[in-house]
Amino acid sequence: MPPVRIAPSLLACDFSRLEQELARAEAAGADWHHVDVMDGHFVPNLTFGPPIIKDIKRRANIPLDVHLMIENPAEWAQKYADVGADILTFHYEAAQDNFEETLAAFKATGCRVGVAVNPPCGVEPLRPHLAELDMVLVMTVHAGFGGQSFMPETLSKVRQLRDWGWTGDLQIDGGVNAQTSVLCKEAGADVLVAGSYLFGAENMAEAILPLK
């Protein structure tokens, strides 16, 4: 298995000090910046869109991992690629009626492409498409808010994907901390997103170490 990569979720940062927060994550050893886009429709919460990501990109020295929690993701794929996303992940649930078309729109951007599933959604529908994906994101909380409790039962989907022979990136998002990260890695995850645990830490570099 490749080494575990860590993607601090900017959702938990101090947005009034965005530039310093990006630098803090990078200095602490972050591999990617995880950027949560919420539209107030697919999830009952609203964050930010392309203009903010464009500014984040100007200050970032590591890849931007953009997690789209939005309806009609295909319509937005190119817009997020244009402002500097390196990895673009959309939710299966937001695209199940036109999945192939949506995947094609994301692949056409040239970004690495991930597909996310919320806790109630199985990974079986992704199986025929795995060869076309760079990443699967198994949500370990219901998408929409930081600071929720980790749902260990969702890890059966991580084991399932590895049992099927999936060797691509397998990301976990939600409730990750020093304790729950152990379970994620045992199950086969190799990209860990952590928001409140890392940005809430006094010393992020020390907090990242047990995740790696």
Q: Is 55 one of the catalytic residues?
A: no
- According to the binding rule CB under 6 A, does residue 194 interact with ligand DX5? yes
Residue 17 or 127 with smaller CB distance to ligand DX5: 17
The answer to whether residues 197 and 176 touch, using CB atoms and an 8 Å cutoff, is yes
Rounded Cα gap, residues 202 and 11, in angstroms: 17
- Taking the complex as a whole, the smallest distance from the CB of residue 28 to ligand DX5 amounts, in Å, to 15
- According to the binding rule CB under 5 A, does residue 67 interact with Zn ion? yes
Q: Which two three-digit tokens encode residue 5? A: 């990569």
Q: Which two three-digit tokens encode residue 150? A: 């980790």
Encoded one letter per residue, x for contact with ligand DX5 by CB under 6 A and - for no contact, window 78-117 reads ----------------------------------------
C-alpha distances in Å from residue 21, one per residue of 68, 116, 199, 205 = 21, 26, 8, 13
The answer to whether residues 76 and 52 touch, using CB atoms and an 8 Å cutoff, is no
Residue 123 or 176 with smaller CB distance to Zn ion: 176
- According to the binding rule CB under 6 A, does residue 201 interact with ligand DX5? no
How many residues in the chain? 212
Residues that bind ligand DX5 (CB under 6 A): 9, 11-12, 34, 36, 67, 141, 143-148, 173-176, 193-197
Catalytic residues: 36, 173
